[in-house]
Each structure stands twice: as C-alpha cells, then as structure tokens.
Amino acid sequence: MKKTTLVILGASIAAVLLLLIGMMSYIIFLLSNNNNPQPNFQNMNGGMMGSGMMDTEMMDGGMMQATIESEHDYLVHMIAHHEEAVASATILKANTDRAEMKQFADTIITTQTAEINQMKSWLDSWYPNLDHQVDYQPMMRDLTSLKGDAVDQAFLQDMIFHHMDAVMMSQQLITSGYADHQELIPFAQTIRDTQRDEIHMMRNWLATWF
C-alpha cells in the first residue's frame, strides 16, 4: 500500500475517532449536568442501561443517528426526527392518565410542529433543487397498544434517547461550521437547550414514578 494512501486512511480514521469522542463527551456532560440519580432504563431487547453506562443501541435494534455532514443534512434529518416525536406524542396524549404527560405531549406537538414548518420553509427557500428525502430509521417503539403507566414509561425511556440524538445533531451543527445561514444557529441552540432541559425532566419523572 502506498504511503500516501496510508496517510489518508490514517487521517480518516482519526477524524472518525475524534467525532465519536466528541459525541460521547457531550453525552457525559449532558447526563452529569444534573444532581439527580440516573434511573435504570430497560431497552426493547431486555438489557439494562444503568448509571454510568451509555448504551448507544436504540429501540428495536436501531442506532443513535447523530451524524450530519451539511446544513441541508441537518434540516432533512431533524424534520424526520421531529415528525417521529410528534407522532409518538400524539399517541401518548390519547393514552396517558397523567396530566403532566398530556401537557408534555402538547408541548412537543406544538413546539416541534412549528419547528418542522420553519425547517421546511428554509429547505424550500435555500435548497429548492435538492432532494429532501431521507433514509430515517425510527428510534421509538410502537406505543399504540400501551396505556396508562405502560405508555408513560415506554415514552419516557425512548424519548430520552430520542432527545439526546437531537441535542447531539444540533451541537454538531453549531460547532462544525456546517451552517451556511446564520439564522440556523440560534434555531439549533434552542432545540439543543430545550431538549436538554426536557431530558432532565424526563429522567426525574422516571425516577419518581417508576
């Protein structure tokens, strides 16, 4: 193998490792920025994810998807990501018995629907000639058969990791220099900060209720 090829390969591997280290560091910061104990989460495969251990495998065998390569990439992935959250929140609202969860579902539906509309408007304006389709892998389980405590617990378990993905995508956009339009930076910061705060709230609810 030529020396030039080895150098390029080595640089590519180093870049991937740096990205992974940065993502994991941000997860650790996110979870440590809270004095409350970390509850145990049970994934769909029956495994336990306890305090101090971050399992990147997601529900139904999916993976955390927080890797973007451009402003357009961020927008199309975040739209699909938000659409899944809105759909799950709609099911939650219809099947939960808790007022807190109904209000939280309303917040997700209202906030993220508005953000979806804004991102679609930007795509139409900034990238009218690009394909906006995305190969999105669902991150949340099917909640349609669950009610009461069961739907609350499943929703909180799944949405914590779903929110983490949005936080990491937004942080990556902010720090990577991918944003070509300045107005996208405060938009991504709002998603990052809002969903980070909601992660802490959901962790507290899981620890208190379950």
Start-to-end CA distance of the chain, whole Å, equals: 56
Look up the CATH number of the domain holding residue 90. Answer: 1.20.1260.10
Type of residue at 32: S
Cα–Cα distance, 179 to 188 (Å, whole number): 10
DSSP 8-state code for residue 63: B
pLDDT in tens, the chain (210 residues): 555 555 445 544 544 444 454 455 445 444 444 444 333 333 333 333 333 323 333 434 344 566 899 999 999 999 999 999 999 999 999 999 999 999 999 999 999 999 999 999 999 999 999 999 998 999 999 999 999 999 999 999 999 999 999 999 999 999 999 999 999 999 999 999 999 999 999 999 999 999
Q: Which two tokens stand for residue 93?
A: 């609202």
C-beta contacts of 189-196 below 8 A and 24+ residues apart: 191/78, 191/115, 191/166, 191/167, 192/166, 192/167, 194/111, 195/163, 195/166, 195/167, 195/170, 196/30, 196/33, 196/163, 196/167
User: At which residue do the structure tokens 């509850």 appear?
Assistant: 39
What pLDDT is attached to residue 13? 54
Is the pTM above the cut of 0.85? no
Cα–Cα distance, 57 to 54 (Å, whole number): 9
What pLDDT is attached to residue 171? 96
Cα–Cα distance, 170 to 104 (Å, whole number): 21
Is residue 79 within 8 A of residue 119, CB to CB? The reply is yes
Residue 133's domain spans which residues? Answer: 3-209
Element holding 41 (H helix, E strand): strand 41-42
Is residue 52 within 8 A of residue 140, CB to CB? The reply is no
> DSSP strand E in 116-186: where?
none
Structural domains in the chain (count) = 1
In 3-state terms, what secondary structure has residue 155? helix
Sign of CA dihedral 134, 119, 83, 34: positive
